[in-house]
Structure 1
Amino acid sequence: MSNTAPSSQTPEPHVARVNDSGVVLDNVRLVRGRTQVFDGLTLHLHEPRIGLIGDNGAGKSSLFRLICGLEQAQGGRVQLGSPSSVGMMFQNPDEQIIFPTVEEELGLSLQASGLTRQAARAHAREWLKARGLGAWAERAIGSLSQGQRQHVCWLALLIASHDLLLLDEPFSSLDLPGQARLDHEIAKAPQQVIVSTHVLRHIRHFERVIWLDLGAVRCDGPGHEVCAAYEADVAARSLNAA
């Protein structure tokens, strides 16, 4: 890492903590290879529930990766409110799960708080039991369905007590009962939750939904309005392509 100070023309992007709640993206620029993902993206994400929609490649996952620090912008600022512990659920649970059993995976989320591995696993067992999932504790991850593994990722976020949860296509692997259960748990979660999804019925009632289009905000407002606008645009494009 260079110790040379950045020039005034290219301020060093960073993730900083601010005193207000939520996340602030200020004039963010992100380039990946030859692709410009964001060019001056500005957003203040402070509502308890926010939906994120748009076509594949619109920048939804990239936005999440910026917020949780997996990517760094080439310009602008990403500011996290205080407190600012962020947890992210990936689209593919197999890219997220590390340990061979459910209790070990959930225990990993607790070890960051200072618990020993043994204490973390014991706490995870009791926590699962309290949720009616005691039988899951010793189950091998490989024995779970795709939807069940997705649910393990959600449980790992909950047990870690993050302040902000980023859910990237959380409904894609779930059957209807699983979707209903996750809907209910999102509704009652005390954390701020931002959901990126193509299944619009799950976010239509949200106070705020953001429609991203090629890295820019196409529409931003109440869920029912933004979802309807996006659906109308998709229908028009499909008609024109026919």
Structure 2
Amino acid sequence: MKEEKGIQSLERGMALLKILSEKGPQTASTLARGLGIHQSSASRLLLSLQKAGFVRKPAYHSFALDYGVLSFAGIAMAHFPIIGASAKISALLHNETGCGAAVAILQDDRLLYLSRIASSSDGRPILVDDSSFPLHRSALGLLLAHGKGKKEFCRLMKNSAESLGEPVSELGLYRMVTDSLSKHGILFLRDWQGHKFNAVRLFEADGRQGALAIFSGQKDQPLGKLKACLEKGSLEIESMLRK
């Protein structure tokens, strides 16, 4: 019984930190409602997390993440070589094309950017960005979901569209991705979600699929060049992770 309570407290503590990371400072009562627990239980969790350096009080009634989370995350990132490899590859793709580049995986039905460089940036990547961008609008999300098979693809697209109250044809999107892969060997979309083009390719990393993307809202690129760059990038990132 004591062990079960400890596990439950750990689960609630992790859920609480996730809420703070997604929504910013919150009151104890708001966090309690979000977790479905009594406010006194939420207050005890917050006190424990505050003592551990993961939570602070920026104002009298509110709680927010503390710098201990950054320290923990920084140490943890050292154990994920895919992050450093993703930064190198996205920079390589950006330098070779002058376009935006990104590397991402799916985590908890969400798109998790491991590295991302905007088309107009100075070439420095943004690392580990938990994106709230809906999967059914994302070329990266479409291809990563497609790699999980038709049934899972349709579930992910349906949930993504319903979260925004948007109509979507899951099978239509699945056929669109399948047709592009059959025709081009990559997912290649023109005039998609404000971008002039999106070119995406899968790769294998640590026993799971990741995806590389090149995109631009302004300039165009020859399809052959995009395919060659993505192939080179996927082979290099897989090679880095085997070392």
The bucket for the TM-score relative to the shorter chain is 0.3 to 0.5
The answer to which structure, 1 or 2, has the higher relative contact order (CA under 8 A, 6+ apart) is: 1
Q: What TM-score, normalized by structure 1, do the two folds share?
A: 0.33
Greater Rg by CA: 2
Q: Pick the structure with more helix per residue.
A: 2
Q: What TM-score, normalized by structure 2, do the two folds share?
A: 0.33
